[in-house]
Amino acid sequence: MARAYQVVSVLFLLLGLFVLYESLQLRYFTMLGPGSGFFGVWLGSLMAALAVLFFVRNSVPQWRRDEPIDLIPGSLAGFRLAVTLALLALTVVLLPILGFRLTVLGLALILLTVVGRQRWWVAVLVSLAASFGTYYVFSLLSVFLPTGPNGI
Amino acid sequence: MESLDQLVSGLGNALTPEYLLFALIGCVLGQLVGVLPGVGPTAGIAVLIPLTFQLDPTGAIIMLAAIYYGAMYGGTITSVLLNTPGEAASVVTTMDGYQMALQGRGGVALGISAIGSFVGGTIATFGLVLVAPPLSRFALRFGPAEQFALLILGLSTLIGLTGRSVVLGLLMGILGLMLGLIGLDPVIGAPRLTFGMVQLFDGIEFVTVAMGLFGISEILLNLEQPAMQIFETKVANLFPRREEWRRAFGSIVRGTGLGFVLGLVPGTNSAIASFLSYVVERRFTKQPLGTGAIEGVAAPETANNAYTSAALIPLFTLGIPSSPAIAVLMGAFIINGLVPGPLLFRDNPTFVWTVIASLYVGNAILLLLNLPLVGLWVQVLKIPYPILMVLILVFSIVGSYSLNGSMFDVGTMFLFGVLGYFFKKLDLPMAPMILALVLGPLIERSLRTSLEISGGELSIFYTSPIAVTLLGIAAIVLVSSALPILSLRRARAAASEDAEI
């Protein structure tokens, strides 16, 4: 866990320095008072300082936590996770092109069969309800979701 | 008396068929959220916010508040019958509740927890009626410096009491404040951290962040869990015997008091309330806890519902959410054009008193619904998780898209879902981050206004007795949390903030 927290510290440090740099490009103080960059300069500096402190804390043997951490999932869980993440990314790309109903139909079918190992007929029924059913219900609530080719 | 008059007026509004229906729907959905393992109150409220987009603000908050406290009732059912807590506050209920179920007294456990929850929630709501108006009148005296100090105190308490490391809590809090920087500067209008993306000019939508961090991340984590085994226990004899009534009475009284007091403290959560009340009961019960003692069910269930109602006091009066679930509720207030805080009672009295009155109505609905629906919730638990996962995912997509009709928000939600997955894996506390995201713009505005008034002099913060007191308390909270002897480490270990989520 200490090694993972060292990496986390470095990421926080980089983020803090980035926000500090970006905020320094803005006005720190104006005639009226604090400018757009004022809060960001302080937040960036504080984060960078705390990140260094956190790194030190996780580097000194007496202070660090050496509990094991389960960061990488097993092969089956990793496969499910990878498929799900890929599907989520695909959903963002395909939803404006194919529309809500077709995209969600595909997403749900693959999730239920490949990740969830459900029977095909269960997957089809649930996917139809999740895609076409949800679209219909929300159209009744005046929430209009994207449509795809031929208005589907 | 004025408060009681307004409460009666609010009750009249809350009992109109429309608001009664919203409270009923909220209670049922809340119970569903509580029943389903892996969907805590925070994720539940965040994912269900879009359902309220078409409602008026009062109806929307009535429904979301009902989801919030309904989840507390729902979590009990699976704790008692299946030894599986639906949400964190019900974890300790499994210890005696499930033992009671094994002894054929599951019905009594559910009955006493429903009654205790009703009593705790109702008395705490009465406390809200008494405490909130004078507190909000007092808070009306606050200028920007005092408001800044108060917001820092709220954030510090949360950081101090959650997570294992104060430094880590501070880092996550600052991360939330940084996310709040994104968008156009509220005073000057200059774009900040937008990278030229027009979609970021209005800032990051709070709801998409909450849905990602709490909803999507939970789905990703559950992909690593083995399928849950469901088994049934028969439920009969819902009402305790006379001797059990006598034993449970004291537990309900103690649970109500403890839950109410903890609800007033920002940074605590309902899991801490139920855990501490269980610890307190050890001193009072003759039957050892963990062997099916009714006190071990009555006290924590009462405490977590008393906490739930009392936690609304800092939100309504000071604009400070005391837990992640309340922070999401505060986000819903803002979406509906309402800013929680002292001005709420002055500017929107009808809204406030209708919502408060609806808490009574909701508690009564839950008492009536809780037991008849037990069979239904057990059936719901038989639905395979992959199906629930797909439904939650689809609902999240619809919810994030419908905020602005933009795929950008859907992508943001997924991104924060992945981040939340790693945050949970690394035990990084998300509560300070989400609270800071909500409070960030308010903190920045009050800080900048204070410094504008003082011409850049920091003396404005230490010349105001209220501000210096609040900032002093905030410093004490942070320092004391960093010292292991003074920290609430034991309570935290059993009821961590992530469990609440």
Q: What is the mean pLDDT of residues B353-376?
A: 87
**Three-state secondary structure call for residue B192:** strand
> How buried is residue A75: exposed, middle or buried, by Cβ count under 10 Å (0-12/13-18/19+)?
exposed
CB atoms within 10 A of CB B487: 16
* Distant-in-sequence contacts of B53-56, Cβ < 8 A, 24+ apart: B53/A141, B53/A143, B53/B402, B54/A141, B54/A142, B54/A143, B55/B22
**Partners of residue A142 in chain B, C-beta under 8 Å:** 54
Higher-pLDDT residue of B382, B10 = B10
Decide if A85 and B224 are in contact by the 8 Å CB cutoff: no
| Interface contact B394-A12, CB threshold 8 A | no
Q: Give the residues across from A34 on adjacent strands.
A: A29
Chain B interface disruption, residue of A88, A90, A93, A107, most B CBs within 10 A: A88
The answer to whether position B381 is within a domain reads yes
**Confidence label for B490 from pLDDT (cuts 50, 70 and 90):** very low
3-state secondary structure of B38: coil
CB B36 within 8 A of CB B388: yes
The reported pLDDT for the residue numbered A55 is: 94
Each domain of chain A, given as residue ranges in start order, spans: 2-57, 75-151
- Does B382 fall in a domain? yes
pLDDT mean across residues, chain A: 91
**The most confident of A15-19, A64-68, B192-196, B370-374, by mean pLDDT:** A15-19
Task: Pick from B197, B393, B449, B453 the residue to mutate for testing the A interface (most A CBs within 10 Å).
Answer: B393
Residue-wise DSSP of B111-141: HHHHHHHHHHHHHHHHHHHHHHHHHHHHHTT
Alpha helices (H) along B140-189 = 144-161, 166-181
| Residue B232 within a domain | no
Burial of A60 (0-12, 13-18, 19+ CB in 10 A): exposed
Average pLDDT over residues A83-111: 95
B contact test, residue of A32, A71, A138 with most B CBs within 10 A: A138
For residue B395, give how far its alpha carbon lies from the nearest alpha carbon of chain A (Å).
8
Task: Say whether pLDDT at B494 is over 70.
Answer: no
CA distance B80 to B63: 26
SS3 A34: strand
Q: What percent of chain B has pLDDT over 90?
A: 30
> What's the pLDDT tens digit per position in B14-41?
999 999 999 999 999 998 888 876 677 8
CA pair distance B15, B22, nearest whole angstrom: 11
- Write out the H or E segment, with its range, that includes residue B392: helix B385-404
Tell me which residue range forms the domain holding B462: 2-227+240-500
**Which of the given ranges, B101-105, B275-279, B468-472, has the highest pLDDT on average?**
B468-472
Put simply, whether A89 touches B (Cβ < 8 Å) is yes
Q: Running DSSP on this structure, what letter comes out for residue B289?
A: T
From A49's Cα to the closest Cα of chain B, the distance in A is 10
CA-closest candidate to residue B239, choices B106, B368, B364: B106
Pairwise CA distance, residues B430 & B434, whole Å: 6
What is the sign, positive or negative, of the torsion defined by CA atoms of B283, B286, B292, B294?
A: negative
- Closest-CA residue of A relative to B227 is A116
Which of B273, B246, B277 lies closest to B262 in space, CA to CA? B273
- Out of B171, B417, B456, the one facing A12 most closely (by C-beta) is B171
Tell me the β-bridge partners of B192: B183
Q: From CA B48, how far away is CA B57, in angstroms rounded?
A: 15
pLDDT of residue B163: 59
List of chain B residues whose C-beta atoms are within 8 Å of the C-beta of residue A47: 171, 174-175, 178
pLDDT higher than 60, residue B492 = no
Q: Are B482 and A59 in contact (CB under 8 A)?
A: no
Out of A72-81, B68-77, B178-187, B260-269, the most confident range is B178-187
Separation CA A76–CA B226 (nearest Å): 11
Domain count, chain B: 1
Distance from CA of B201 to the nearest CA of A (A): 14
Rounded to an integer, the average pLDDT of A90-106 is 95
In chain A, count H helices and then E strands: 5, 0
Average of pLDDT values for B317-325?
82
The count of residues in chain A is 152
Looking at the complex, does the CB of residue A99 fall below 8 Å from at least one CB of chain B?
A: no
CA angle, B335 as apex, B272 and B159 as ends, to 5°? 30
The chain-wide mean pLDDT, for chain B, equals 85
Residues 50-79 of A with CB under 8 A from B: 50-51, 53-54, 57, 65, 69-71, 73-74, 77
Does the CB of A145 have a partner CB in chain B at under 8 Å? yes
Q: How far is A126 from chain B (nearest CA, A)?
A: 7
Residue B8 lies in a domain: yes
